Structure 1
Amino acid sequence: MVPVVLATAFLASSAQPALAHGHQAGRGFDEPYSGFAPPSTRLRTTTPKEAGLNTAEIDAMLAELAGYLLPQPSGRPLFPGAVVLASHDGKVAVHEAMGHAVKYADAEGSELPPHQQVTMAPDTIFDIASISKLFTSIVVMQQVERGRIDLDATVASYLPAFAANGKEAVTVRQLLTHTSGLPSWMRLWRPYPDRESRIQAVLSVAPKAPPETLYEYSDLNLITLGVLVERVGGEPLDVLVREGITEPLRMVDTGYNPPASKLDRIAATEFQTDPARGMVRGSVHDENAWSLGGVAGHAGIFSTAHDMSVLAQAMLNGGTYDGRTILSRHTTEQMLTDYNAGFPGHAHGLGFELNQRFYMGALASPSTAGHTGFTGTSLVIDPLSRSFVILLSNRVHPRREWSNVNAARRAVTGRVAHALAVTPRQGATAWFAGRQDGTTATLTLPVTLRADSTRLGFHLFVDSEETDLLTLEVSRDGGASWEPQPFVVSSRGRISPHDGTISGFTGRHWQQAAAEIEGPAGEVQIRWRYVTDALHQGRGVYVDGIRLGDADGLLLDGERSPERFVTDGWSEASR
């Protein structure tokens, strides 16, 4: 293990202030914010460059999305069309539409004549599916603020029928965090004949497990919350959403059961045969929500990218937008706080999902919040960079089995993350790896040591999936074998030892690392080996300011001798 005193001393001697080489306007990815944005922050349209984003990354993101409109290995496109919107620091840098809102005539994918197809537009209205759960959660929390709901009270204390089948102990908080033990789903449009019997079926359902023993993402949790908030709020759910969210935020195209006057702007979803609804457009896609009259706690909201952007910025602002407050800062913070520490991999606030790499991609962090929708929609809010990304697609048009859009979701979040700069700590560039899955990248430094104890210091930035590992290694036999090299990391006043490997979320800021290489003088190889698994990426890893020294002084300054490094999968990056 590296002696902490020695490591700290060497770090102090090698640390240099960050330089501004290649730094963009605004804060970069390695300059995380703390807390909410000023409540006065309003969205304004600008260019990627003016927003502090790398234009090449944004162009590549749009090209990648456009590529999904073409036939994939399945022989079908990932989606007929999409709208993407991205914002950083209150600046909307991207709001683009592509493809078609309506393209197909039937479940087999027969294309409509060109004059009957509808081109996607930036203001196309989408069925956002399960993102509706966030609206229900917000109106629940509004009732909490008014003292009408206690998060830790039992659901049965508000809805006595819910106590059926041993659910007496389930709380409101457990419904919001999907730890209630309820099953994920049940069919409501058959065999129950009407809305009343369908709601009764949900309230009386038998649990799958006792509360707090299982994480099970469940539509039934939110259907129940929709009924509960109607009971305590004294108004139907659509009225509570309109009066509590969409009217204050002026989300003029957001709500349940859109009027016929807006049909021309609505993206089609699926051609349904069970139930026999034909091509669904302008009516909620989710069959259970449809059977409940289009208004339900788990689905039913229609919206546009612009409207969703206002909600996203309101959350970043701590519950306020344009002088209108829908939630207090304290309540907003509660909604974005993880209550599921006992269920690793299922971080969840009060309604919002947290840190879900499968769709948040390189923007994922313990504080990154969002939700997806089955129809092909997603919202990702990253408080650390005060950014958000909205992807709205109609991927179920004409059939739900045609595609899964998680790759597209990660493409947009990943490109936005990489569009935010990581500024080298020394000089104009830093060594970078980490844009591909299933790869091994090595940065190797052959060197002749002069003493039995040599100090190694370097700057380190790590933002990876937990299973994507960066390992510091040493070889003394020409690379035939390698041993992990322990090191210590100093980060904002905290010093932590590592056995040679580091991964995961480390705070989105540069750290200082040091190791003492013990052993006889002579030729060695030092390398940084970054191994990624088959799926998901973080922002990647950077190494900079590499220095070697011993009792006789400085042995190598990596900034002055970059040619001494042997790279395989690493490159010099200016951002």
Structure 2
Amino acid sequence: MLMVARCCTIRLTRLVLLLVLGFAGPEPGRMVAAAPQAPEATPEQVGLDPAKLDAIETALREAIAREAIPGAVVGVGRFGKLAYVKALGDRAVQPDREPMTRDTIFDLASLTKPIATASSILSLIHEGKLKTTDRVADHLPEFAPHGKEVITVDQLLRHRAGLIADNPLEDYEHGPEAAWKAICDLTPIHPPGERFVYTDVGFIVLGKLVEKLDGRPLDQAAAARVFGPLGMSDARFNPDQTLQGRIAPTEEERGVGVVRGVVHDPRARLMGGVAGHAGLFGTVDDLAAYASALTGLLRGEAQAGRGWLTPEEARTMIDPADTPPNQRRGLGWDISTPYSSPRGDLFGPASFGHTGFTGTSVWIDPESDLFVILLTSRLHPRNRGNINPIRSQVATLAASAVISDPRPDPGPVACGIDRLLLQGGGPLVGKRVGLVTNHTGRTRDGRATIDALRHLPGVDLVALFSPEHGIRGEVDREVDDGRDERTGLPIFSLYGKTRKPTPESLKGVEILVYDLQDIGTRFYTYISTLKLVMKAAAEAGLPLVVLDRPNPIGGVEVAGPVRDPRFDSFIACHALPVRHGMTVGELARMFNEEDQIGTDLTVIPCQGWRRSMLWDQTGLEWVNPSPNMRSLTEALLYPGVGLLEATNLATGRGTDTPFERIGAPWIEPRRLARALNDLKLPGVVFVPIRFTPSERQYAGETCGGVFLQITNRDQFEPISLAIGLAIVLNRLYPRQWDSTKLQGMVAHQATLEAISQGRDLAQIPRLWDDDLDEFQARRARFLISGYVE
């Protein structure tokens, strides 16, 4: 009897909601058209095969015929443009049959989680009001009881907070405030962070967090932060009476009839239709507008986010971090879990998406820049329908439709090796060639420079020379000589017993070629190898050809102390500032003249590279130049974080984000983060964290520290970051922080003394002014004129 009474209470509550909100039924004949919000294109314009896309319609019509679904709206887009939209079958079959239309509004169910709630959370992070490492109880103290005080925002977003999937419905029967109190009284079923448990409760908490920090109800906050900026004109909670004629019904309830416009999820319904886990309604065009903006951000187009997120923040949103296999989740997005049926058979491991219980789904693949939206109302009319096989089939067909990339070449940059090949080998023809390279030496289309030269008519490649990290860039220690498994060529290590080619290694070589990707920082050793190769070439009377490559962190900014002569070393091989703003070809010209090396030097420059370009603007593929240099973000951080590597700090090596975090067992994270954020360094914020590196001095030890998040790379100054870190560490941990070995990296006596004296951060860069002015004058003579800003 108790169960019957409870069900009756829930149905009565639903009926009251329907009447109070004015949703007693659709307004006859009411059809309000919704204009498309995402750019559109033909399939051919975005490299999709129309015939393959037509197979999606065939598959959906078969599902409709067997009554798996009453109808569907499907959208497929690429490069941010909606290229295929079909409305098939019926929107409603009871009480009257209504044809499905493109502008049909669906109950999006759990798509609410990433699109409304997680997107609002990321917006708050973007504004600096929240961090993923924040403990939820710091913002919502009432949430803390029973061991929940340690739960973080990140754990909630990834469904790793240890919370139950759903608490009992009776907890919601007395309204949202009573429901919130019941959630705050829950005890985790698993230790937070231990495992993945898909939970609605966690996103209800996140919705509450949005309301607390934004100051508005979740529906209003999401509309202002996400739906409005991204042009999602029909996206909303609790759609009003004027939209009823376009809303797909979700179910038929006894005593109520066909339900439209009231959220199907019972907990969200009992909370008034607005909750962090469910309640959002929208159309295929709303979701296409969202997907278009997100994929644009992932392509690096900052304007695509319209102020919502930056490209870096969008990439963070889909980063699975260290979540284990089959539990891979981003910040609100599913990546690889048992819920990933919309991936289909062809989308790769970088793809992501989400499903909704009512029959909705979105899946996005950054690699092919493709998105697939499938909207159905599988619960209408008989509250059944297995949609997962259909989702998978549609995704597979959409992915198979990709046949080409018809966009204009995204980056006009060609490297020195590409230009050498266009010249047919130029000065190498008829010569026995020794090649200084590793895995970063590659053509624009991805061929190894080793292979390109081996197959070039008239060129005889006879020897390979490898820098630090070896010929494949995988070794983080000294490297022995060897033999290349693929070519059989001898490999002479320049980071082992010797760092300079020996006369013996150069026997039989008639010309040397250098093709390595530098990172734009004084202490990155590939440029030291370049200088030693130049000296060996001069001593042996061999010409040297340097195949130039872009400076990945740009060729404009010059910053940091210029090396004092007394600090000459393998990590400070020339009088350069920390960030020199030069390419390896330009550096070779500088080394040759300023050190009077006398190398017979030829530099083959890049084509199309501008000094203002960062790597992601070149159109070239990123290849990790060394094992711990895994992204452009890390390259931008390296001139700063790398300066402190010789001290007793962990700098992220042995974690999944090298150089994006620093710490030590003796650091208290919140104290350090607070002190660093108080410096108000431009373009970067500091998030308190704990981490356990797997290598170097603190291998296996838990370190307190900070995560370094670049918020604006145009404003970010890595050298100011380094000096600020040094000053704060010296002030907070004078006994624990050992800066003895800092001198080899800083290589500037006045700067070292200023740091040890605790000089003001604003004063220290003034120590470099004269030296930087002098360097700029020297540098100007060696810049390649074709590299315009």
TM over 0.5: yes
CA distance in 2, matches of 1:376, 1:181: 27
Q: Which moved more, 1:288-297 or 1:191-200?
A: 191-200
Alignment-derived partner of residue 546 in structure 1: none
Alignment-derived partner of residue 74 in structure 2: 84
Alignment-derived partner of residue 98 in structure 1: 88
2:108 is the counterpart of 1:128: yes
User: Is contact 1:179–1:213 with CA below 8 Å preserved after alignment?
Assistant: yes
Alignment-derived partner of residue 296 in structure 1: 275
The letter of the residue matching 1:334 is T
Deviation (angstroms), 1:92: 2.0
- Three-state SS of the structure 2 residue aligned to 1:121 is coil
CA distance in 2, matches of 1:340, 1:284: 34
How far does the alpha carbon of each residue in 1:312-338 deviate from its partner, in whole angstroms, 9 at most, with x for none?
011111175667221111211110100
CA distance in 2, matches of 1:340, 1:220: 23
Structure 1 or 2: more helix by fraction: 2
CA distance in 1, matches of 2:303, 2:140: 33
- Three-state SS of the structure 1 residue aligned to 2:53 is helix
Assess, with a 3 A threshold, how the Cα gap between structure 1 residues 179 and 322 changes in structure 2: closer, same or farther: closer
User: Is contact 1:355–1:367 with CA below 8 Å preserved after alignment?
Assistant: no
User: Is contact 1:379–1:389 with CA below 8 Å preserved after alignment?
Assistant: yes
Assess, with a 3 A threshold, how the Cα gap between structure 1 residues 202 and 398 changes in structure 2: closer, same or farther: farther
User: Is contact 2:347–2:396 with CA below 8 Å preserved after alignment?
Assistant: no
2:251 is the counterpart of 1:256: no
Alignment-derived partner of residue 45 in structure 2: 50
The letter of the residue matching 1:203 is C
Alignment-derived partner of residue 358 in structure 1: 341
The letter of the residue matching 1:118 is E
CA distance in 2, matches of 1:268, 1:363: 32
CA distance in 2, matches of 1:336, 1:363: 19
Alignment-derived partner of residue 285 in structure 2: 306
User: Is contact 2:347–2:399 with CA below 8 Å preserved after alignment?
Assistant: no
- Three-state SS of the structure 1 residue aligned to 2:207 is helix
CA distance in 2, matches of 1:44, 1:244: 21
User: Is contact 1:188–1:198 with CA below 8 Å preserved after alignment?
Assistant: no
2:59 is the counterpart of 1:64: yes
Assess, with a 3 A threshold, how the Cα gap between structure 1 residues 86 and 285 changes in structure 2: closer, same or farther: same
Alignment-derived partner of residue 187 in structure 1: 168
How far does the alpha carbon of each residue in 1:340-398 deviate from its partner, in whole angstroms, 9 at most, with x for none?
43x31121111111145522113432321211000000001111011100000000112
Alignment-derived partner of residue 397 in structure 1: 380
How far does the alpha carbon of each residue in 1:460-508 deviate from its partner, in whole angstroms, 9 at most, with x for none?
xxxxxxxxxxxxxxxxxxxxxxxxxxxxxxxxx9699xxxxxxxxxxxx
Alignment-derived partner of residue 571 in structure 2: none
User: Is contact 1:255–1:303 with CA below 8 Å preserved after alignment?
Assistant: yes
- Three-state SS of the structure 1 residue aligned to 2:149 is coil
User: Is contact 1:154–1:169 with CA below 8 Å preserved after alignment?
Assistant: yes
Deviation (angstroms), 1:150: 2.2
Alignment-derived partner of residue 466 in structure 1: none
How far does the alpha carbon of each residue in 1:221-251 deviate from its partner, in whole angstroms, 9 at most, with x for none?
1000000111111111111101101111221
* Matching of residues 86-165 of structure 1 within 5 Å: 86-104=76-94, 112=95, 116-134=96-114, 135-165=116-146
Assess, with a 3 A threshold, how the Cα gap between structure 1 residues 418 and 252 changes in structure 2: closer, same or farther: same
CA distance in 1, matches of 2:105, 2:278: 15
2:177 is the counterpart of 1:196: yes
How far does the alpha carbon of each residue in 1:85-140 deviate from its partner, in whole angstroms, 9 at most, with x for none?
00112332211101111113xxxxxxx4xxx2211101100010000001100111
CA distance in 1, matches of 2:201, 2:59: 36
The letter of the residue matching 2:71 is G
CA distance in 2, matches of 1:321, 1:354: 25
CA distance in 2, matches of 1:264, 1:321: 35
Larger relative contact order, structure 1 or 2 (CA cutoff 8 Å, min sep 6): 1
CA distance in 1, matches of 2:362, 2:243: 23
How far does the alpha carbon of each residue in 1:494-551 deviate from its partner, in whole angstroms, 9 at most, with x for none?
699xxxxxxxxxxxxxxxx99xxxxxxxxxxxxxxxxxxxxxxxxxxxxxxxxxxxxx
- Number of paired residues? 371
Alignment-derived partner of residue 149 in structure 2: 168
Alignment-derived partner of residue 497 in structure 2: none
Deviation (angstroms), 1:59: 1.1
The letter of the residue matching 1:124 is T
- Three-state SS of the structure 2 residue aligned to 1:390 is strand
- Three-state SS of the structure 2 residue aligned to 1:99 is strand
Alignment-derived partner of residue 282 in structure 1: 261
CA distance in 2, matches of 1:181, 1:344: 18
CA distance in 2, matches of 1:184, 1:399: 25
Deviation (angstroms), 1:213: 1.3
The letter of the residue matching 1:407 is P
User: Is contact 2:359–2:375 with CA below 8 Å preserved after alignment?
Assistant: yes
The letter of the residue matching 1:86 is V
**Structure 1 stretches of 5 or more lacking a match?**
1-41, 72-76, 105-111, 424-492, 497-512, 515-575
Deviation (angstroms), 1:156: 1.0
Alignment-derived partner of residue 268 in structure 1: 249
User: Is contact 1:148–1:232 with CA below 8 Å preserved after alignment?
Assistant: yes
Deviation (angstroms), 1:279: 2.4
- Three-state SS of the structure 1 residue aligned to 2:188 is coil
Alignment-derived partner of residue 205 in structure 1: 186
2:273 is the counterpart of 1:328: no
Alignment-derived partner of residue 414 in structure 1: 396
- Three-state SS of the structure 2 residue aligned to 1:50 is helix
RMSD of the alignment, in Å? 2.5
Deviation (angstroms), 1:278: 4.0
Assess, with a 3 A threshold, how the Cα gap between structure 1 residues 43 and 252 changes in structure 2: closer, same or farther: closer
The letter of the residue matching 1:290 is R
CA distance in 1, matches of 2:312, 2:149: 29
Deviation (angstroms), 1:190: 5.6
The letter of the residue matching 1:409 is R
CA distance in 2, matches of 1:323, 1:391: 23
User: Is contact 1:102–1:267 with CA below 8 Å preserved after alignment?
Assistant: yes
| TM value normalised by structure 2 | 0.45
Alignment-derived partner of residue 229 in structure 1: 210
Structure 1 or 2: more strand by fraction: 1
Larger gyration radius, structure 1 or structure 2 = 2
CA distance in 1, matches of 2:318, 2:147: 30
Alignment-derived partner of residue 373 in structure 1: 356
Assess, with a 3 A threshold, how the Cα gap between structure 1 residues 141 and 191 changes in structure 2: closer, same or farther: closer
| TM value normalised by structure 1 | 0.61
Deviation (angstroms), 1:149: 1.4
CA distance in 2, matches of 1:279, 1:495: 63
* Matching of residues 433-452 of structure 1 within 5 Å: none
CA distance in 1, matches of 2:346, 2:208: 34
CA distance in 1, matches of 2:84, 2:177: 44
The letter of the residue matching 1:140 is I
User: Is contact 2:319–2:330 with CA below 8 Å preserved after alignment?
Assistant: yes
